Amino acid sequence: MSMRTGTGTRGMAAVIAAVAVLVTALFTAPAAQAQAGRAYVAMGDSFPANPAIPEQLDGFFRGYCSQRDDAYPDLVGRDYFGGDYVNLACNGNSLSGGAGPSLVSKMNAAHARGEIGPATRLVTITAGAAEGWNPATPRGRDFGIIDGADHVTPQRWVERMGPVIGRINQLAPNARIMFVSYPEIGDGNGNLCLATFSGGSAHLPVPVPLNVERFIDTVNSTAAAHQHLGYEYVDTDRPGTGTCAPVGNQWVRSVFDIPGAGDGLRMPFHPTALGERAVADIVMSRL
């Protein structure tokens, strides 16, 4: 009697132990997988977020980060990584956090959600244009309109980008890191086009001399010169694709493009659908 009871007790204990192991596996495996991170993590400012104007306004009033689903990170994430990605880009994000939410704070929040980790194979960054470089302006931002390009120095770049790369290496030690440059904004001669009229063989750009192009070029060239920080520089600046190009060739839209590109109410001086596709293809050609 006591032997049967002991055998039954041991058998029941074995069953309970097996069930416990199964339940533990069921509940911990997804958590462990989540902590491993997405295969691809994108970070940056409004360029890799690139919401349409209605989406941007909705996000502003409802308190969330709006993004367009055909921004280059989304195209790379779907086409190359089969949807295993997260886009952390948002309008106003900055490298250091002085002018807007920092990339490090975005990464820390993503890590808490299990979105970046040892399984992450690629991290892309497009940032620096929304950084507060100019101490004479509110929050340091002037987007190059005043003299922001003069304040993008090698020392300040290292001070601001260095901690970003360091944190990526801590959270995603197996990831390649790419700085994806800003595309051409103007006409290559220091002008932006506020309006472009194209029709048939006619093409009438309206160029305006602004320092924005020099500012963007300075951010790009400074990033290119500091790959020793631990990232690869991906050049997406192609002549003849900025705001002054014919509408059908624009990678970046102006304020008034007539006729429009037919890709929605996008923000001025931000990528068109054609530009997003082109940048995504350039990134994927490096993988």
Q: Which residues are catalytic?
A: 46, 270
* Exposure of 171 in the CB half-sphere (CA atoms within 13 A): 31
The amino acid sitting at 135 is P
Closest CA to 250 of 282, 206, 239, 208: 239
In angstroms, the Cα distances linking 125 to 59, 223, 247, 272 are 22, 11, 27, 19
Closest CA to 77 of 109, 111, 128, 124: 124
In angstroms, the Cα distances linking 72 to 15, 37, 125 are 52, 20, 11
